[in-house]
Amino acid sequence: MLPTRQWVIAPPRKTLVVGVADMVVSNDGSAEIVTYSLGSCLGVTVYDPVKKVGGMLHLMLPDSTIDAVKANTMPYMFVDTGVPRLFHAAYNLGADRSRLVVKVAGGAQLLDQQGIFNIGIRNLAALEKLIAQNGLRIHAADTGGLSSRTVRMDLTTGEVSVKTPAAKPYPL
């Protein structure tokens, strides 16, 4: 007689998708957060490993002063208006500033290979300045280059992975 096997079927993971100029923050450990097609845009993640609170922001531009109307209607589009909202949303779910792990990916020169506009570089510079001004640090980054990126965050572990068209997903 053959031994019987018992199979454990895990429920499917929830995928919380962050669109362009959008943000998602959650404490749902059964979920992952993902954003697709980061070119010159940045994907910024925060995670508190104690409270298991994580969030992701897909921002497009460094400075909201170029368009006050968009800054009001689409604050996640910009570094200076989106990043503070990301942190405050995580704090509202119980994250502690001293435990937050900050990671960033993107900032490629996808459509600007001659470096005329340098949007990716400017986005990263604005983010680094804002983070430093607030006494925080970026724990890991995968930025620049000429490839788009997809970024995923596991809300159970806080692990962040990056996928480019030419590579398998790799940890950030």
- Residue 55 β-bridge partners: 25, 46
Q: How distant, in Å, are the alpha carbons of 18, 65, 101, 103, 154 from that of 136?
A: 23, 24, 9, 11, 22
The tokens describing 10, both together, are 């895990």
- Residue 25 β-bridge partners: 55
**Strands 140-143 and 22-26, how do they pair?**
unpaired
In the set 25, 41, 86, 155, the catalytic residue is: 41
The reply to whether 41 belongs to the active site is yes
Whether 14 and 28 have beta carbons less than 8 Å apart is answered as: yes
The tokens describing 89, both together, are 């949303």
d(CA 134, CA 54): 19
Active site residues: 41
